[in-house]
């Protein structure tokens, strides 16, 4: 008997894979690097996921080749538009990982991990920022979430860039003084922010390192720096705005659930929680805002169990063994 579900959570920075039995127990759990199709392309994404699935099969004592399970539930960063989802679905179907499969954006995994029934709104804030809302009747609210060109503001990579931007301007006199300047210089071990800029310009530092400045930004804001606090407050405003728009679109105004997750919110979510709740409560006064601590791959697994008609006991067992 093949496992019931091959669950995949493919993020920008890491990829998690589970093989799950009919009763919800975890047969194998594997983690690998990020393989977002927007960053590495669909072919390399499939190769990376296949390698992790093969490793999971070996861990579970199963034959190495596909099919790996009866259903594949893949929730991927970079599956932002219908065209992208269709392309990924076709590519996975050709590889024969399972009899049936579903491909969704990774926000769906977060929403399912943070709710009992997958109804509500989720906002994920990792390298980027994205949100999804699902109503009880199946209606969905989504955003393109492909950066500034689609109206986005925030996310770890963006906040890191902003922290450096303000540090550089404080150093050269174009901007107000801010404690972000000494914090950034100390973080990179340079003599100035200008040295950081030069290293980025000449490729001596990868631009991905700017994501590392996000926790630093929250620390400086916590200490009372005005500019850092303004950036953090703006991030809370954007999270609340994404959630509120979906709550209105779907008429989820009667005690809805809003779940938050992603690397940025895992580190700073508790500080942002009151601000996000206050903004959502303007739309839905009885809203519950939760910070989800369960791995998003659990949400992908729960979606897979839903698709094959597993009962509540299997879902509870998965949460207990993998959460």
78-89 residue pLDDT tens? 888 899 999 999
By residue range, what is the domain housing residue 99?
5-115+294-322
Instruction: Give the integer Cα–Cα distance in Å for 298 and 318.
Output: 7
Distance in angstroms (rounded) separating the CA atoms of residues 118 and 96: 27
Confidence check: pLDDT of 267 > 80: no
Asked if residue 84 is part of any domain, the answer here is yes
State the average pLDDT for the chain. 93
269 confidence band (pLDDT: 50, 70, 90): low
Mean pLDDT along residues 277-282: 96
Evaluate if residue 123 carries a pLDDT over 80: yes
Predicted confidence band of residue 153 (pLDDT cuts 50, 70, 90): very high
Terminal-residue alpha carbon distance, the chain = 25
List, in order, residues 6 or more apart from 248 with CB less than 8 Å away.
283
Tell me whether residue 10 is in a domain. Answer: yes
Handedness of CA 147, 148, 152, 153 (dihedral sign): positive
Across 71-75, 94-98, 124-128, 314-318, least confident range = 124-128
pLDDT value at residue 1: 65
**Alpha carbon distance 224, 237 (integer Å):** 18
* Total number of domains constituting the chain: 1
CA atoms within 13 Å, Cβ hemisphere of 238: 23
Taking alpha carbons only, the member of 63, 33, 109, 51 closest to residue 297 is 109
DSSP classification of residue 52: H
At residue 94, the pLDDT reads: 94
Residue 10 predicted with pLDDT over 80: yes
The mean pLDDT of 243-249, rounded to a whole number, is 97
Range among 36-40, 146-150, 207-211, 245-249 rated most confident = 245-249
The verdict on residue 85 lying in a domain is yes
Q: What is the CATH number of the domain that holds 298?
A: 3.30.420.40
Which residues are CB-neighbours of 11 under 8 A, at least 6 positions away? Answer: 34, 36, 77, 106, 126, 296
- What pLDDT is recorded for position 147? 86
The answer to whether position 61 is within a domain reads yes
Q: Please state, in angstroms and rounded to a whole number, the distance separating the CA atoms of residues 245 and 239.
A: 10
Stretch 139-157: mean pLDDT, rounded? 91
Indicate left, alpha or beta for 121 from its phi (over 0: left) and psi (-120 to 50: alpha).
beta
Q: CB of 284 within 8 A of CB of 247?
A: yes
* Per-residue model confidence (pLDDT) at position 11: 79
- Higher-confidence residue of 53 and 146: namely 53
pLDDT recorded at residue 308: 95
| HEC string for 280-296 | HHCCCCCCEEEECCCCH
The model's pLDDT over 16-74, given as tens digits with 9 standing for 90+, comes to 999 999 999 999 999 998 888 878 889 999 999 999 999 999 999 998 789 999 999 99
3-state secondary structure of 134: strand
User: Is 114 strand, coil or helix?
Assistant: coil
Answer whether residue 174 is part of any domain. Answer: no
Q: How far apart are CA 194 and CA 265, in angstroms?
A: 29
| 145: three-class secondary structure by DSSP | coil
Rounded mean pLDDT, 163-177: 98
Q: What percentage of the chain exceeds 70 in pLDDT?
A: 99
Q: Is 107 exposed, middle or buried (0-12, 13-18, 19+ CB in 10 A)?
A: buried
Q: Is residue 209 part of a domain?
A: no
Kindly state whether residue 124 falls inside one of the protein's structural domains.
no
pTM (2 decimals)?
A: 0.90
- Contact call for residues 171 and 197 (beta carbons, < 8 A): no
Does 310 map to a domain?
Answer: yes
Rg of the chain, C-alpha, whole Å? 21
């Amino acid at each position: 008997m093949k496992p019931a579900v091959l669950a995949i959570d493919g993020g920008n920075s890491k990829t998690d894979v589970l093989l799950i039995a009919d009763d919800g127990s975890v047969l194998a759990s594997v983690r690998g690097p990020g393989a977002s199709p927007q960053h590495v392309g669909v072919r390399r994404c499939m190769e990376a996921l296949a390698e992790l699935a093969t490793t999971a099969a070996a861990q579970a004592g199963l034959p190495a080749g596909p099919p790996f399970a009866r259903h594949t539930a893949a929730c991927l960063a970079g599956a932002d538009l219908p065209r992208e989802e269709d392309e990924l679905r076709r590519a996975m179907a050709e590889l024969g990982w399972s009899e049936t499969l579903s491909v969704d954006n990774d926000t769906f995994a977060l929403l399912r991990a943070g709710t009992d029934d997958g109804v509500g709104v989720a906002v994920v804030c990792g390298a980027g920022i994205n949100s999804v809302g699902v109503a009880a009747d199946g209606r969905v609210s989504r955003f393109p979430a492909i950066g500034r060109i689609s109206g986005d503001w925030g996310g770890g990579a963006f906040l890191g860039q902003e922290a450096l931007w303000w540090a550089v301007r404080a150093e050269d006199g174009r901007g107000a003084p801010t404690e972000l300047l000494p914090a950034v210089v100390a973080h990179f071990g340079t003599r100035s922010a200008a040295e950081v800029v030069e290293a980025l310009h000449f490729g001596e530092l990868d631009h991905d390192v700017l994501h590392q400045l996000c926790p630093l930004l929250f620390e400086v804001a916590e200490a009372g720096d005005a500019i850092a606090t303004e950036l953090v407050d703006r991030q809370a405003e954007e999270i609340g705005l994404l959630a509120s728009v979906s709550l209105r679109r779907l008429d989820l105004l009667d005690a809805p659930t809003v779940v938050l997750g992603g690397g940025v919110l895992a580190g700073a979510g508790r500080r942002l929680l009151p601000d996000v709740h206050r903004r959502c409560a303007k739309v839905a006064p009885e809203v519950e805002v939760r910070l989800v601590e369960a791995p998003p791959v659990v949400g992908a697994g729960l979606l897979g169990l839903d698709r094959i008609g597993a009962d509540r006991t299997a879902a509870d067992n998965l949460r207990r063994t993998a959460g």
